[in-house]
Structure 1
Amino acid sequence: MKAELSPKVKAPLFNLEETMICGQTFCWFPEGGKWVNVSRRGVLKVWQHGEHLKYECSDGLPRPLEQIFRFKDDLEEIYSEISKDYVIRRIIERHRGLRVINDELWPCLVSYICSQQLRIPRVRRLMDILARRYGDKISYRGMIYNVLPTPKQLDEVSLSKLKEVGLGYRARYIKKTTNQILKGEVDIKGLYKLPYSEVKRELMKLHGVGEKVADCVALFSMGHLEAFPLDVWTFRAIAKFYPHLLETGGYGVVSRSCRRYFGRYAGYAQEYLFRYIRK
C-alpha cells in the first residue's frame, strides 16, 4: 500500500480530543498522540495541530476528513439553536469544539449492538477481538492492523465462537443481524435516502436493535442530528437538569420530549450533556 502524508486540513472550531473521548465512537483508538481508524479502505491516523488536522493514511484518504468530522456543521449556529437555557450554554463552553462524528455504518452498528449493558472500554475490547480473530489484516509502517470483519466474514463464524469472544447474549444479536443484512431483509445502503423516522424504523427490524441503538446509528453514522439517544448517563443528565422533560412514559416519550425542546440539532445537545455528566 502506498502511504499518504498530508501536512494539514483546516479544522474550524474543532477539538479532536473532546470529539474522540466523549463516548460517541468505538471505531477509533489512540496511538502515540494520534487517533487511528482501521477499515477495509486502509489505516487512517489523525492528530490536531492548532486549528488544523494532520493525517496519514496507508492507501489514500478513505473519506474526506471534512465528512468524517462534519466540518460543514456550523457549530456557532448549532450552539445558538440548542442553547435553550443557562445549563446547556455552560456545558457548551466547557466542551467547545466537540463535533458529532460520522462513522461508517457497519462498524457503528456492530459496536452499538455490542455496547448494550457494557462499559465503553469493554466495548472497545470486544471490537478489537472481533477484528483480530475474524477480520482482514493490514500491514502499515511495520505494524499489523486488524479490520472489523464484514457481514459475510461474521456470518461464517459460529455462534459458539462469537460467545467465546465475550459477547454473551449479544452474540446472538450479531449473528442474526448479520444474516438479515446478507439476506437483504434491511436495505442498509438504501437507508441513506430515508428520513430519520423511517431510518429508525428500518434499523429496529434488525435483531438486537432497539430504540437506543437505532438512535445512535442514526446520529453517529447517518447524520440525523435530530436523534436524541438515551442511556443511563443521558437519563441522569436529563433528570438532573431537565426533570420537566421526564414525562410519564418510556424511552420514546422522553426522547421525543428532548427533541422538541432542543430542536433540529438535539443530537448535539445530547452529546454535550453526555460528555459533561460522565466527566
Structure 2
Amino acid sequence: MNFLELQNKILITEIKNDINLENTLECGQCFRWKKINNKYHGIANNENITVYKKNKDLIIENSNINNVKNFWVNYFDLNLDYTKIKKYLSNTNTYLLQAYESCPDIHILNQEPWETLCSFIISQNNNIPRIKKIISKLCENFGYKLSNNNFSFPDYKIMSQLKKKDLEIIKSGFRTRYILNTAEKISTGEINLEEIKNMEINQARKKLVTLNGVGPKISECVLLYSYHKLEAFPMDIWMKKVVDKLIANKDIKIFGKYAGIAQQYLYYYIRKNKHILEL
C-alpha cells in the first residue's frame, strides 16, 4: 500500500484488498455517509471527508496524509486479508457465494464505539432514512461544527448532561431514555468502552446487554462494527429469515471466526434480492 499526496487529495495505491465503497457504506453498518456524484461524503474522527475510487486506487479529500495513514486506513479496514477470508468461507454456503458475486468487496468498518452504540440504539424498530435523519439532528444540535456546515457526533459526556426534553428536537421517541441512560453510565464509568475492547466476546456481550435498551442484536452490531470482533453475528428479522431458510440446520457456527463477515454479505444480498426468501 502506497500513499501519494496531491493538493487536497491523498491517493492510496496498491491496495491488496479491494474495497467497494457502495457495498461497504450502504450495507447497513454505518449512517453518516452520503453519495453525491459517485463520491461519498462522510464524517468520522471529527473529520469531514470525501472518498471515491479511481480504478483500484482509493482517493480521500479534505484530510492529510497522517490522518489517512493513522485513522482512515484502519477505518476502512484496508489491511485485513479479505481474499483469505473469502476462501475460508467459500465452501460454507451456496447463497454466500452468490452474495460474494452480487455484492463484492464489502469491508467491515472500524467505527468509534460510543457513536456505534448510540447509532444502533437509535436504529431500534426504525428504517435507515429515519435513522440517518435522527442522527443528523443529534449531531446538528449537540455536536460541534466542522467544515462545510457539518457537525461532529456529540460526546457521551455532553449527552449525559441532557434531559429528555432536550432531545425532543431530534424526535427519537422511546429511544431517548436509552440514549441518555447509556451516556450517563459511560460518563460515570459504570460502563468502560475501552475495557470492552479487550474482553472475550461472550464477556463483552454480557456487559453490553446490561445497558437499558441494548439487546443481543445491538450488542452484536457494536461488537462487529466498532470492536471488530468478526465472530459477532447481528440477528435482526431479516437475518432470522436467512438463518431459517438459507443456512443448513440453522447453524451459523459453520462460518466460524468470520461469521460477522458472512452475515454482512448475506444481509446486504438478501435486502437487495428479497425474492430469494420466497423461493
TM-score, normalised to structure 1, is 0.87
Residue 249 of structure 1 is matched in structure 2 by: none
Aligned-pair distance for 1:36? 2.5
Summarize the Cα distance change of 1:61–1:9 in structure 2 as closer, same or farther, 3 Å threshold: farther
Alignment of 1:74-89 (within 5 A): 74-83=81-90, 84-89=92-97
Q: Deviations over 1:91-126 (max 9, x none)?
A: 212112111111111211111000000011111111
Alignment of 1:1-279 (within 5 A): 4-11=8-15, 12-39=17-44, 41-58=46-63, 61=67, 63-83=70-90, 84-139=92-147, 143-242=148-247, 244-245=249-250, 257-258=251-252, 260-279=253-272
Number of residue pairs the alignment of both structures matches: 262
Aligned-pair distance for 1:155? 2.1
What letter is aligned with 1:57?
Answer: N
Summarize the Cα distance change of 1:40–1:90 in structure 2 as closer, same or farther, 3 Å threshold: closer
Q: Deviations over 1:174-208 (max 9, x none)?
A: 01001000110011112222121122122112221
Residue 250 of structure 1 is matched in structure 2 by: none
Identity of aligned residues (%): 29
Structure 2 residue matching 1:224: 3-state secondary structure: coil
Aligned-pair distance for 1:34? 2.2
8 A Cα contact 1:155 1:178, kept in partner: yes
What letter is aligned with 1:223?
Answer: H
Distance of 1:225 and 1:46 partners within structure 2: 25
Q: Deviations over 1:199-239 (max 9, x none)?
A: 21221122211111010000011110000000111112222
Structure 1 residue matching 2:67: 3-state secondary structure: coil
Structure 1 residue matching 2:133: 3-state secondary structure: helix
What letter is aligned with 2:271?
Answer: R
8 A Cα contact 2:113 2:227, kept in partner: yes
Summarize the Cα distance change of 1:145–1:262 in structure 2 as closer, same or farther, 3 Å threshold: same
Distance of 1:104 and 1:166 partners within structure 2: 23
Summarize the Cα distance change of 1:106–1:24 in structure 2 as closer, same or farther, 3 Å threshold: same
Distance of 1:43 and 1:9 partners within structure 2: 21
Aligned-pair distance for 1:29? 2.6
Aligned-pair distance for 1:242? 2.0
* CA RMSD of superposed structures (Å): 1.9
Distance of 1:39 and 1:17 partners within structure 2: 17
Distance of 1:271 and 1:241 partners within structure 2: 14
Segments of 5+ residues of structure 1 without an aligned counterpart are: 246-256
Aligned-pair distance for 1:19? 0.6
Residue 277 of structure 2 is matched in structure 1 by: none
Distance of 1:190 and 1:131 partners within structure 2: 26
8 A Cα contact 1:81 1:263, kept in partner: no
Distance of 1:112 and 1:31 partners within structure 2: 24
Distance of 2:45 and 2:78 partners within structure 1: 23
Aligned-pair distance for 1:5? 2.5
